[in-house]
Amino acid sequence: MAISVTIVEDDALVRENLVQLVEGAAGFRCAGACADSEQALQDIPRQAPDVVLMDINLPGISGVECVRRLKKLLPQLQVMMLTVYEDSDKVFAALEAGAGGYLLKRTPSDELLEAVRELHQGGAPMSSYIARKVVQSFQQRAPSAPEAARLSPREEELLRHVASGYHNKEIADQLNISVETVRVHLRNIYEKLHVNSRSQAVVRFLTKKQ
């Protein structure tokens, strides 16, 4: 079945270009297009898309806040932030709100579609530049929360691979463990950090302080 995508973008030209990109790609269909968060919060629960492409800098309710509200309504909804912003604070705010991926608007069309497919399949795609910033922050920050302190060295190592955008099979190959072992580690990490997604696990570990 085609992956259904809803676009939330206030720039009419960009929004139309994204609609045409999705509609013209094999294996995808556009479920809708919204000009602001208010319209998105009204339309998306009815459209029930597989993936939402969400701008951050929206008029009125921000894209980050829109993601937060949508995830409360539709916990299984996959959201990809598509933005011009590269700074770490916006990245972490979006991921902590529940976004599963973060791409820059200059991402080539074929890479964007592949990232949407990856997100739909359970990955956490990010632009290489963004992924590097996440990994750098991971290496620089010393988590001090009790939850973070309980993570084992193996779990921390696995989270670094998640932050770099690796799929479970790739993580298994990198760490020389089975895919099922990766899944077990992820379930344990989610439980310890009180989260339910890969991106939220990374952000919680990075940003949670006593």
pLDDT tens track for 179-202:
889 888 887 887 777 766 676 677
Among 98, 127, 156, give the residue marking a domain's end. 127
Question: How many helices (H) does the chain have, and how many strands (E)?
Answer: 11, 5
Q: How many CA atoms lie within 13 A of 176 on its CB side?
A: 0
Q: 210 pLDDT band (50/70/90 cuts)? A: very low
How many structural domains is the chain composed of?
A: 2
In a domain, 177, yes or no: yes
In a domain, 132, yes or no: no
Mean pLDDT of 159-180: 85
Tell me: pLDDT of 207 over 70.
no
Rounded CA gap, 102 and 64, in Å? 12
25-37 pLDDT tens trace: 999 999 999 999 9
- pTM score of the predicted model: 0.70
Rounded CA gap, 132 and 150, in Å? 25
Identify the domain containing residue 199 by its residue range. Answer: 140-207
In a shared domain, residues 99 and 76 = yes
In a domain, 73, yes or no: yes
In a shared domain, residues 24 and 114 = yes
Among 127, 150, 168, give the residue marking a domain's end. 127
In a shared domain, residues 116 and 183 = no
